[in-house]
Structure 1
């Protein structure tokens, strides 16, 4: 799994705010890009957590559109981070896909309640 620190901005509460310690990455087991930002002060769970299920965001622009739809932005993405993310996905794409019992388990874990 790749993880890179970026800055995410948001206006969810009507005030502009920024998280310079947000995390963006690619998760090979579930084949998706993900974004985490604005950790809660008590639980440490991020207020923004996108890319938690199989094939959620197969392209960075899909992840960006979802972030904007939730009132957040992370563009422009630093060129070296964008390059590392796309390279990481390409390398991970050559790995064999899950099958059998593990695939079924991941499917069930990612199904909506």
Structure 2
């Protein structure tokens, strides 16, 4: 399982908050990207936890759309981090890294300008 620290922002109990210690990653057994943010004050569970069942979010865009639908968003991912996440998924599935249209887009983003 991969885990990377990012910032998630959203409206929680009518207050705009951000969590600079949120976690995004890929869970190979569940074959999904996941997002965890806003630790609950009384339990160890995150207040926001997306990607808890099989193939819940097969793309980063699916995960971001789900976060937005819950009133949250993660800061734009750097091309390097997005590429790592795609590579994590590819490695877990046994496919060549960065294949397909998304992989081509990530390669273009990482080229010097």
TM-score for both structures, normalised by structure 1: 0.80
Count of aligned pairs:
95
Give, in whole Å, the separation in 2 of the partners of 1:22 and 1:75: 11
State the partner residue of 1:73: 73
Alignment of 1:1-40 (within 5 A): 1-40=1-40
Give, in whole Å, the separation in 1 of the partners of 2:18 and 2:78: 16
CA RMSD, Structure 1 to Structure 2 (Å): 1.2
Alignment of 1:43-82 (within 5 A): 43-82=43-82
Q: How far has the Cα of 1:17 moved from its partner?
A: 0.4
Give, in whole Å, the separation in 2 of the partners of 1:79 and 1:39: 27
Give, in whole Å, the separation in 2 of the partners of 1:14 and 1:67: 16
Uncovered stretches (5+) of structure 2, i.e. residues with no partner: 96-113
